[in-house]
Amino acid sequence: MLNVSNAPTAQFEALQARGAKFLGTELAIMGGAMSWVSERNLVAAISNAGGFGVIACGAMPPALLEKEIAATQAITAKPFGVNLITMHPQLDDLVQICIRAGVGHVVLAGGIPPGPAVRAVKDGGAKLIAFAPALVLAKRFVKSGVDALVIEGSEAGGHIGPVSLTVLAQEILPHIRDIPVFVAGGLGRGEAILGYLEMGAAGAQLGTRFAASVESIAHPNFKNAFLRANARDAIPSIQLDERFPVIPVRGLVNEGTKKFLAHQAETIQKFQSGELDKTQAQLAIEHFWAGALRRAVVEGDVEGGSVMAGQSVGMVTAIQKVSEILQELKDQAVAALALREQTRTYADIGAA
C-alpha cells in the first residue's frame, strides 16, 4: 500500500516558512499592487484568505491614501502592505501616512528607492520591500537596508523590465540569501511557485489572477477579457522609433494597442515635417495612454483602454474567489510534492 502522509504539506510549509514569517501570513503569497484594482476590497480579501494584499497607491494624494488604508483596516485585521511609486511628488508624505497608520510593510516601486524614503520607512518601524531588476542592484539594496526584494520577470502584467523571471531567478536567487526574495511575473500555478521556492525564493507575488477574482472591483468587461485571453495576447507595448522611447507595459492586444502604433507613426511624421519638436513629439507619444488603465478597469473600455495583464492571463479560466485561488495554488504545490513522494515509493518497491 502507498504511504499516505502529511509530509508533502509539511514540506510545502517549510519551504514557504521564511516568506510567511516575513509577511506575517499563513501563505507566502503576495497580491501584487495593481493601480485601480488593488484597493480595500481586493487587498482585504487576499489578506483575510491568508495571503498578503498590497494597496496600490499609484498617483493618489496623501489624504486619499490615508482613507484607503483606514478603510482596508476596517475590513481586515490581517497584515497588508502599501505600494508607493518612487517618482510620486509627495513620496515622503505618503511614507509618513503609512507609518502613522501602522502599515507594517511598504513596497517602493518604479525605480531605485531614494535614501530618505528608505530611512523614513525603517525609522518608522515598517519593513521595506523593493524591486530588484538585476543582481548588482539586489546586492546594493541589501546593503542599503532593504528588508525583502521582489524580482519581477518580463512575463508580468503592467510596467515591465526586459528579463524573464526564469533568468532573473537564476541570476539572483542563489546569491541573495540575507533577505527574503519574492518572485513575480507569469505565475499562475502552484507547481511553478514550488519550483521557485526550491530554488531559494521566499514566496511569490501574483497580479493577473487576482485582478480577475470575484472580489476584484475591476469592471466585468475587464475580467471577461482576461477569461477570453491566451498568454500570447498579453504583449509589451511596441516602440516604432528608437528616438522616441516607449515605456514597456504588458497588456492585452486591442484597438488601443493598434491605434498606439498609428499614433506613433503620425507623431513621428509631424516631427519629421517640423510641425512638432522632439520634446513635443515625445510628450504626444507618452500622453496617448494617459488615464487608459482607469478607462479599462473602472469604465470597462477594454477596446480603447489599457488592459494590463501578465502572460499568466491564459491561466485565468474562471472568475474565482480569492480564497479559492490561494487554496488552488497551495494544493497544486502540495500535490506536486505528493506525486514526487509517490514516485519515490514506487521506486523503492521496484528496488526491493
Ligand X SMILES: Cc1cc2nc3c(=O)[nH]c(=O)nc-3n(C[C@H](O)[C@H](O)[C@H](O)COP(=O)(O)O)c2cc1C
State the residues that interact with ligand X by CB under 6 A: 32-35, 37, 56, 58, 83, 109, 152, 155-158, 184-187, 205-208, 211, 308-310, 312
Nearer to ligand X, 161 or 270 (CB): 161
3 state SS of 83: strand
Nearer to ligand X, 53 or 310 (CB): 310
**Cα separation of 196 and 329, whole Å?**
13
Q: Point out the residue whose Cβ comes nearest to ligand X.
A: 207
Q: Tell the smallest beta-carbon distance from residue 200 to ligand X (Å).
A: 19
Q: Tell the smallest beta-carbon distance from residue 334 to ligand X (Å).
A: 21
Q: Tell the smallest beta-carbon distance from residue 136 to ligand X (Å).
A: 21
3 state SS of 288: coil
Name the strands in the sheet holding 249-252, side by side, starting at the edge strand that comes first in the sequence: 158-159, 249-252, 234-236
Nearer to ligand X, 285 or 302 (CB): 302
- For residues 178-201, b (16+ Cβ closer than 10 Å) or e, as one string? ebbbbbbbbbbbbebbbbbbeebb
**Cα separation of 38 and 80, whole Å?**
11
Contact 148, 181 (CB under 8 A): yes
Nearer to ligand X, 150 or 176 (CB): 150
Name 227's Cβ contacts closer than 8 Å, sequence gap at least 6: 212, 316, 317, 318, 319
Q: Tell the smallest beta-carbon distance from residue 71 to ligand X (Å).
A: 18
Q: Tell the smallest beta-carbon distance from residue 11 to ligand X (Å).
A: 24
Concatenating the DSSP letter of every residue in 207-254 gives -HHHHTSTT--S-HHHHHHHHH--GGGEEEPPPS-TTS----EEEE--
Nearer to ligand X, 215 or 267 (CB): 215
Q: Tell the smallest beta-carbon distance from residue 276 to ligand X (Å).
A: 30
Nearer to ligand X, 107 or 179 (CB): 107
3 state SS of 130: strand
Q: Tell the smallest beta-carbon distance from residue 3 to ligand X (Å).
A: 35
Nearer to ligand X, 8 or 157 (CB): 157
Q: Count Cβ atoms within 10 A of the Cβ of residue 319 and give its class: 0-12 exposed, 13-18 middle, 19 or more buried.
A: middle
Name 111's Cβ contacts closer than 8 Å, sequence gap at least 6: 86, 87
**Cα separation of 223 and 210, whole Å?**
10
Nearer to ligand X, 8 or 207 (CB): 207
Q: Tell the smallest beta-carbon distance from residue 18 to ligand X (Å).
A: 20
